[in-house]
Structure 1
Amino acid sequence: MLNKLALAGIKSRLRDYLVLFSGLVIGSAIFYMFMALATNDEFQKANSTLSATPLIFGFGAVLLAIITFVYIIYANSFLLTLRQRDYALFMMLGAKSRKISRLIFTETLVLGLGATVVGTTIGVGLTAGVSQLLRQTLDAPARHLVSLYWPAVAATIIFFAALFLLAALVNAHKMRQTPVLELLHADAQPVVIRRHPVRDLLLAGLGLVSLGVGYWAMQAINDLQLLSIPIALVTIVLGSFLLVGAVVTSIVGALRRNHHFAQQNLRSFTLAQIGFRLHSYTAILAVVSILFALALGAITVGMNFNRETPLMTNALTTYDVVVHNPDAATKRATRQLTGVTSKQTYHVKVAKHRVSFQTAEVSAQPVLDVKADVSKTKVVNYRRYRADPARTDNLTYQNAFLSLTTANITDATKLQFVSAQDFARTAGQPETIVTYRVRDLRANIPVLKRIHRREMRRYPQLATRVLPDKYLVYRMMNGMNSGFAFMGFFLGLAFLAMLASTLMFKILSGAAADRARYRMLARMGVRPRLLRGSIRTEIGVLFGVPAILGVAHVLFGLQLFKALLLNPYTGIWIPFVIFAVLYALYFGLTVLLYNGIVRPRA
């Protein structure tokens, strides 16, 4: 009988349970997606050249575990709030506390394990879908990434099972220890918020100092090395919590005390709502600010690694395409190149130990050689080499010309320049060399691949060159950078889903308690426009606080990558705009759903 009554209570609050269940499902799915990378050593070794990658993923796993722990604590509290009145009624009807404890224990554990299994299954599907999308978009091989990775499945299920077992024990114990009348009237109990200005000031100062230490640690990555990561992790999490709990609430309190500002329209009510929210949302908003920074930072870094692949490639090689004695098939392939910025043709004669260029051709079309000038302001510079017989013994000068030919270059190979008349009498195999440079390297990679394979079949000796052609250099650089780009985008999307679901879930789960307040205001004659504006302002502050804090974390956190990227801040506005649009969509959806719960229907 008791089980039937419990089931009936669940059915009566099915929408709230669906919100809770869906939030737990998303949490476990995101946790699995992260663990699919963090526990896969082969994937990390194959897709990252950074030796500290396992350590970074280890710290990320610890941070995500802490965030998930906070998330589960709140979800467990919400579950207990949903059921405590029902269980109090059961006890008033004669049910023994021992049976009630067993019931709440079973319900918590079944709900949690069910959400974990469903979430892990969805996580496997999301890992497969997102990884396939990123492979195609980023041209990233993502070697050894397995969507169904059993160590990650085991880690997810064990971690969540332990959390929900602990939550079930806590719920059962709390239900036994709490008096029936207190359970019955829990929703009617006033929440008294006591402010301590001196304490808040001290905590705010400590929070700023803590954040300052964390930001300094990230900027001093060259001096602190790997030690900067744990220092930043601890101090930024602590600083975020203290700032939300002290600084933001103090600002809201000051606005409430400004009667000229607070007494206009519904500002007094809205500020009271925000103040109450911030008091109970401190931990969640701090967690969301960290998630916001992780998501935006990961996407920004991933985009920069992806963007810098062609830049680094161009900094190592000069010509995008070099073809030798082009036949009809090669000419057809080169005509498919897009955005060609220069095309140069040289007529050369290759003998056993000598390569002859025509003086007039080289003077009219200087041979280019890339400078190793990779800086934050100018990525590539070129040296222009004209015909200069006095420099033919210079190794750098010589190689710029010889590397264009099909000659088997040895120490005895000499370079010479001759006139057009002497060229006809010079011994050697005639060779026509055509060089191309294009505006967009990445857009031409499929064509470069075909030309490269054809040139290697026709002239196998080119494979022995010290400096390979641009296609091979691109594949090498893309192999290093695409792993970082893939991980950045993958984790960024995962953290974005986590932070959005966490914040939406927290706000919507408390909407039922706000329903009476908004309906009372509606009965008093407050215009619907003012009610909608109050809701937008309240939720806007809850979305805005972690966003502002998260952006600050990102701007300082990118310092960690200055040793790996040419400039981690280049093009930063692109991921920021994309992220702002997605974040605004989540905000709009939350406002829409919240309105549907708290405002009376016409």
Structure 2
Amino acid sequence: MTLAQLAGKNIRKNFTNYFLYFASMIFSIVIYFTFVSLKYDSTILATSDTSPKISSAFTGASAVLMIFVAIFIWYSNAFFTRKRKKEVGLYSLLGVRKKQIGRMLFYENLMMGLFALVIGILLGSLLSRGFVTILMKVMGYDAMANFHISPQAVINTIVVFTVITVITSLHGYRLIYRFKLIELFQADKEGEQEPKTSLAMALLAVLCIGIGYWLALQNILESAAWRNMGFMVTPLVIVVAVIIGTYLLYSTFIVYLLKMARKNKKRFWNGVQIISTSQLLYRMKGNARTLTIIAVLSATTLTAVGTAYSFYYNNRSSVALADPNSMMFIANDQRIANEVQDRISRDPKHEVVYHERIPALQMKVDITSLNSKISSDIVSYTVISNTAFNKLAELQQRKDSLSLQGQEAAVLDAGYYEGLSPEYVGSTVSLKAKELAENVTFTSLKRYNVLNLRTANTTVIVSDEVFARLQKEAPLANMEAYKMTHEDDAKSLTSEIQAILPREARFSSFYTDYAAGMESSGLIIFMGGFLGLVFLAATGSIIYFKQLTEANADKDRYIILHKIGVNKKEIRKSIAKQILFVFALPLIAGIAHCAVALTALSRLIQTNLVIPVLICIGAYACMYIVYYFLTVNTYYKIVTKSNA
């Protein structure tokens, strides 16, 4: 039997152990091939106006995926090679040279890599139409994808994954020369010394994570810590503190808790509890690095996907805040305004909910006294009367009204940011029109718009008396505002209105901003979702591999337990508890890190991320649970195989 034949036989006999590794590689190749294919897809190029940006985005995502998959395959290959130390030792005792053993393992890894590559490209080709359709759907397009296999994508994928497979195979080949014969047969006894820890180190773990969380949750604009360390250094300090704290959490704090649990004699000596606790205690420190990597990667994945989905989820509400009217423009020419009205009224797909003409004044105002940190001293304000505001607010069903008297004023600023935006309330500005200057004092701030932001900028409401005096001195700008049904599906109507209106009309529409938001956030959620799935598959597989290695090492112990009277139900219960602990630790830490990061982000961008983030965390946890049950079943089968 040749080495290649022996390698093929080993893969067939151990395929159960290799399955998740093989499946994860296939999944990674499918996603990579998909991302590369989408760069060249004719449907995307024909449908989207931003296809060059989409191509660039998928190029970047493919590069990130390529690096991650290379690390994952490298880690998995080294892991499997070390896992088979005893098998390699037996080959050595039988007279097989290390060179031949290394070649056999090289062939194994190369075969699996090539098989995964072929299957991944075939599956990717078959699923490519579905992936394009999904992308078009989340970006808000109704285009149907045509079946097309990109030769560039096939060549790119073959080259990239062949290189990764060959390099990792060579790495596995080199590992063989680093093993000594005595080490190979003592492999199962490695790392079995009881780990040492102390209360001080356990508390240091909590302190590091606490410092990272505390810094992350600080108000960036007001925090002395952020100012002293610098806005570029502080995020780095947060990341380092949390990573170090997470590692210490697993290597010291959890070990300390397990030792404390062992001192509870009543619970420790209860049934097979002694087995679960002891095995976790002895192996926790050795697993600390792996669990830390998985926790940090889970946190990064959840944060990225959660943020992307939040933008997608909140797109409509964000656009509604900026564009409360379906369409709006400045009517400088009554003939053109009538033409627009006629076109809108004739459209069969959209019913006009309201059409309002708002008398407005557009003025340059000096806001030096407002101490703004994000705007210039001279800004453009659209000034409307109290009566006009109340009428629009009623039409928009806001259940809000104003009763301004004398020199009182209110401001509408949907993008108001505490600490950066102008300090409106209590401040006075001068509204100047020719020889007239009206000094008004802001008594109210509303964090929404009644006029579209792109047409009107920041809106200031003044009393009817002040507006009447200013109107006599300043040119009046009549603003046409329309509210229509199905405003998110008005592509053709929007295009026709844009063609009618001149640029100085400053046309804005709900559909334009909604479509742009759907396109950008849809693209991000598509890439983030699929990259997140790859990361999840990889991290779940790493824990799976680790537990299978421990299962083979523990097999003899469970056989002895079974012989002295421990039934299989109790063994399964012990295994389930032990593996639950290993799966839950990085998941809980990842969710905690993600929650803190997204809380800080939601404060920064002033957006509520709770619902979309909970959806992402729920989906991630459900998939992790699937990995958990698969690992428990496989572990149980391994340790009870000889107990029949």
* Contact kept in structure 2, 1:140 and 1:478, CA below 8 Å: no
Structure 1 residue 469: Cα displacement = 2.2
2:145 is the counterpart of 1:168: no
Distance 1:589 1:240, change over 3 A: same
The 5-angstrom pairing of residues 64-143 of structure 1 reads: 65=67, 69=71, 72-82=74-84, 84-112=85-113, 115=116, 129-130=130-131, 132-139=133-140
Is residue 2:309 matched to residue 1:303?
yes
Asked if residue 592 in structure 1 is aligned to residue 595 in structure 2, the reply is no
> Within 5 A, what are the aligned runs for 1:263-302?
263-302=269-308
2:53 matched residue in structure 1: 46
CA distance in 1, matches of 2:316, 2:290: 40
C-alpha separation in 2, matches of 1:44 and 1:498? 30
- Is residue 2:483 matched to residue 1:436? yes
Distance 1:573 1:519, change over 3 A: same
Q: Which residue of the other structure, out of 535, 544, 556, is the alignment partner of 1:504?
A: 544
Contact 2:34–2:124 (Cα < 8 Å) also in 1: yes
- The 3 A distance-change label for structure 1 pair 347 and 329 is closer
**Could you tell me how far apart the structure 1 residues matched to 2:90 and 2:342 are?**
89
CA distance in 1, matches of 2:476, 2:629: 59
Percent identity over paired residues: 19
Counterpart residue number, 2:373: none
- Contact conserved, 1:219 with 1:556, CA < 8 A, in 2? no
Q: Is the 8 A contact 2:276 2:578 kept in 1?
A: yes
Q: CA deviation at 1:289?
A: 0.7
Code of the residue aligned with 1:135 in structure 2: it is: M
Task: Provide the rounded CA distance (Å) in 1 between the counterparts of 2:317 and 2:417.
Answer: 11
What SS does the corresponding residue of 2:314 show, helix, strand or coil?
helix
Question: Which residues of 2 match residues 245-256 of structure 1 at below 5 A?
Answer: 245-256=251-262
Paired letter, 1:436: K
In structure 2, the partner of 1:344 is 354
- Within the alignment, does 1:452 sit opposite 2:494 as a pair? yes
314-323 vs 207-216, which moves further:
207-216
Q: Which residue pairs with 1:532 in the alignment?
A: 572
Q: Separation in 2 of the partners of 1:93 and 1:364? A: 92
Q: Which amino acid aligns with 1:178?
A: L
SS in 1 for 2:508: coil
Contact residue 295 and residue 590 of structure 2 kept, 8 A:
yes
C-alpha distance in 2 between matches for 1:159 and 1:187: 28
Alpha carbons of structure 1 residues 125 and 246: separation in structure 2 relative to 1, 3 Å: farther
In the alignment, the residues of structure 2 paired with residue 314 and residue 271 of structure 1 have an alpha-carbon distance, to the nearest angstrom, of 55
Aligned residue in 1 for 2:561: 521
Return the alpha-carbon distance in structure 2 between the equivalents of residues 346 and 11 of structure 1.
74
Q: Counterpart in 1 of 2:181?
A: 178
Q: Which amino acid aligns with 1:205?
A: L
Query: C-alpha separation between the residues in 1 aligned to 2:631 and 2:475?
Result: 63
Q: Check the 8 A contact 1:252/1:275 in 2, yes or no.
A: yes
Alignment length (residue pairs): 531
Amino acid at match of 2:622: V
The answer to whether structure 1 residue 334 and structure 2 residue 350 are counterparts is yes
Deviations 1:184-243 (A, max 9, x none): x44664753232224x84376167427734873686877655555655554443432232
AA of the residue aligned to 2:533: L
CA distance in structure 2 between the aligned counterparts of 1:113 and 1:484, rounded to whole angstroms = 31
Q: Which residue of 2 aligns with 1:194?
A: 194
Deviations 1:358-390 (A, max 9, x none): x9x979955779932235898625489899586
Partner SS for 1:299: helix
Conservation of the 8 A alpha-carbon contact between 2:102 and 2:173: no
Instruction: Give the CA deviation at 1:290.
Output: 1.6
Give 2:551's aligned amino acid.
Answer: A
Partner of 1:415: none
**Aligned partner letter, 2:413:** A
| Partner SS for 1:284 | helix
The one-letter code of the counterpart of 1:391 is F
Query: SS of the counterpart of 1:532?
Result: helix
**1:473 equivalenced with 2:517 (yes/no):** no
Q: State the Cα distance separating 1:14 from its structure 2 match.
A: 3.6
Tell me the distance in 2 between the aligned counterparts of 1:250 and 1:488: 37
Segment of structure 1 superposing worse, 215-224 or 233-242: 215-224
The two structures have a TM-score, normalised by structure 1, of 0.71
Rounded to whole Å, the distance in 2 between the matches of 1:558 and 1:348 is 40
The 1:219–1:586 alpha-carbon spacing in structure 2 relative to 1, beyond 3 Å, is farther
Q: Distance in 1 between matches of 2:161 and 2:7?
A: 29
Query: What is the aligned counterpart of 2:479 among 380, 393, 403?
Result: 403
1:23/1:493 CA distance change after superposition, 3 Å: closer
Shift of 1:544: 0.8
Contact kept? 1:112, 1:160, Cα under 8 Å = yes
1:142-172 deviation per Cα after TM superposition (whole angstroms, max 9, x unaligned)? 9xxx99386676555444533332232122x
Question: Which whole-Å deviations, capped at 9, do the CAs of 1:478-503 have from their partners, x for residues lacking one?
Answer: 45544444443343333223322332
CA gap 1:491/1:242 in 2 versus in 1, 3 angstroms:
same
Which residue is 1:241 aligned to?
Answer: 247
Secondary structure, counterpart of 1:403 in structure 2: strand
Say whether the 8 Å CA contact 1:73–1:167 is kept in structure 2.
Answer: no
Question: Shift of the alpha carbon at 1:462?
Answer: 5.9
Instruction: Please state whether the residue corresponding to 2:483 is helix, strand or coil.
Output: strand
Q: Please provide the CA RMSD for this pair.
A: 5.0
The answer to whether the 8 A contact 2:139-2:521 is kept is no
The CA distance in 2 between the partners of 1:22 and 1:2, in whole Å, is 27
Question: Hey, what does 1:212 align to over in structure 2?
Answer: 211
Q: CA deviation at 1:97?
A: 4.2
| Structure 2: distance between partners of 1:250 and 1:363 | 64
Q: Which runs of 5+ in 2 are unaligned?
A: 40-44, 144-149, 329-337, 360-384, 397-410, 419-445, 451-458
Alpha-carbon deviations, 1:262-313, whole Å to 9, x = none? Answer: 1122211111232244233222211211221122112210121113322332
CA distance in 2: counterparts of 1:592 and 1:539, whole angstroms: 11
Give 1:108 deviation, angstroms: 4.3
Separation in structure 1 between the aligned mates of residue 67 and residue 157 of structure 2, nearest angstrom: 13
For CA contacts below 8 A with separation 6 or more, give which structure has more relative contact order. 1
Change over 3 Å in CA distance of 1:470–1:463 after alignment to 2? farther
Structure 2 vs 1, CA of residues 470 and 99 (structure 1 numbering), >3 Å: closer, same or farther?
closer
The 2-side partners of 1:44 and 1:86 are apart by: 53
Paired with 1:327 and 1:562, the residues of 2 have a C-alpha distance of 41
Matched, 1:567 2:607: yes
